[in-house]
Amino acid sequence: METALNELPLAIFTTLAPLGAGAFVVLAIAVCSLKLEAGQLKAIDRLSLIPAGAVAAGFVASFFHLASPLHAPSVFMGIGHSPLSNEIAVGMVFFVAMAVYVLLGMFGKLSLSVRKPFSLVVAVLALIFVVFTGLAYMMPTIPSWNSPLVPLEMLGMALFGGTLIGLFVLALAGAIDGRAAHMVKSLAFILGFSGFVAAAVALVGHVDMLGELWSPAVAGATLAEPVVPYLCGAGLCGVVAVACLGVVCFGKRTLAPAAVGSAVALVGTFLVRFAFYAMQMSIGL
């Protein structure tokens, strides 16, 4: 568990940033599908600071992982060669696009003709960023992370938790309370539940993969034993969050279950990420 504690800034980053990014996918669906009133659009623009703030907080946390934050610009020298550099480059492109989109919306500078395509661009960049974040951990020197299940796990959690956060924003703005929002909520449920299934399947496969790994110092199966309580807690959070997602999308209430679901999904994702860093096996060990 000492490894996980040392990687705590990255656990925070890979929890907050992907979930905040995933929320913009649902917001793009709503913007492109609903006939929103001016007041609702204004509220959504203002409340988009919630997922944007999560992304920003995640990026800030990631800098504390560096031995010296002043050396951060040197990471860009590895673009095209280093998965970490590629992740940071894609992340910065997404962050800038997201920030511009949110700021223009808050200052009333987004016309409907610009808002729809811009929201889709931000959503696509968000998904690309999440995938590249997962790909950054596929490295031969750490076989316990070197699997395509890792980016799938990351994408699934981003879609699941991000969907709930996006629905929370829409519920606060009063944009998904009427019958007109039925299609958006149905799409959100499909998106969020698919993310949950993808993350769960990838996580189970990832843990099972550890049983086939070994090094002179440790067997892969022993890495999973200490994190079982964390994974069980994450599983419980996932079940509660899925229930909240169902209530938001098919029930009469939206705000309370969306708030609870977002919080529980955030906790569950952090538990998974904390366990992920504890299950680290380097070739040198």
Average confidence (pLDDT) over 130-134:
95
Q: Is the pTM of this model over 0.85?
A: yes
Q: What angle do CA 256, 203, 5 make, to 5 degrees?
A: 80
List, in sequence order, every residue forming a beta bridge with 129; answer none if it has no partner. Answer: none
Is position 246 within any domain? yes
Is position 273 within any domain? yes
Is position 285 within any domain? no
Is position 11 within any domain? yes
Is position 283 within any domain? no
5 or 61: whose pLDDT is higher? 61
pLDDT at 213: 67
CATH assignment of the domain containing 51: 1.20.1630.10
Determine the structural domain holding residue 104 and report its residue range.
2-278
DSSP structural state of residue 240: H
Is position 52 within any domain? yes
Helix (H) or strand (E) holding 4: helix 2-6
173 or 142: whose pLDDT is higher? 173
125 or 70: whose pLDDT is higher? 125
Give the chain's length: 285
Answer yes or no: is pLDDT of 2 > 70.
Answer: no
Asked whether the beta carbons of 25 and 191 are under 8 A apart, the reply is yes
142 or 4: whose pLDDT is higher? 142
Answer yes or no: is pLDDT of 166 > 80.
Answer: yes
**Exposed e or buried b for every residue in 136-158, given b needs 16+ CB within 10 A?**
bbeeeebbbbbbebbbbbbbbbb
Average confidence (pLDDT) over 74-97:
76
Distance of alpha carbon 282 from alpha carbon 75, whole angstroms: 22
pLDDT at 285: 43
Is position 158 within any domain? yes
Domains contained in the chain, number: 1
Question: Which tokens in the block code for residue 244?
Answer: 């909240």
pLDDT digits (tens, 9 = 90+) for 181-213: 899 999 999 999 999 999 999 999 988 887 676
pLDDT digits (tens, 9 = 90+) for 31-73: 999 888 999 999 999 999 999 999 999 999 987 755 445 555 5
pLDDT at 175: 93
Is position 284 within any domain? no
Kindly report each contact of residues 28-31 with a partner whose C-beta sits within 8 Å and lies 24 or more positions away, as own/partner. Answer: 28/119, 28/120, 28/122, 28/123, 29/123, 29/184, 29/187, 29/188, 29/191, 30/166, 30/170, 30/175, 30/176, 30/181, 30/184, 31/115, 31/116, 31/119
Distance of alpha carbon 180 from alpha carbon 27, whole angstroms: 15
Using H for helix, E for strand and C for coil, what is the string for 134-153? HHCCCCCCCCCCCCCHHHHH
DSSP structural state of residue 214: B
Residue 1, classed as helix, strand or coil, is coil
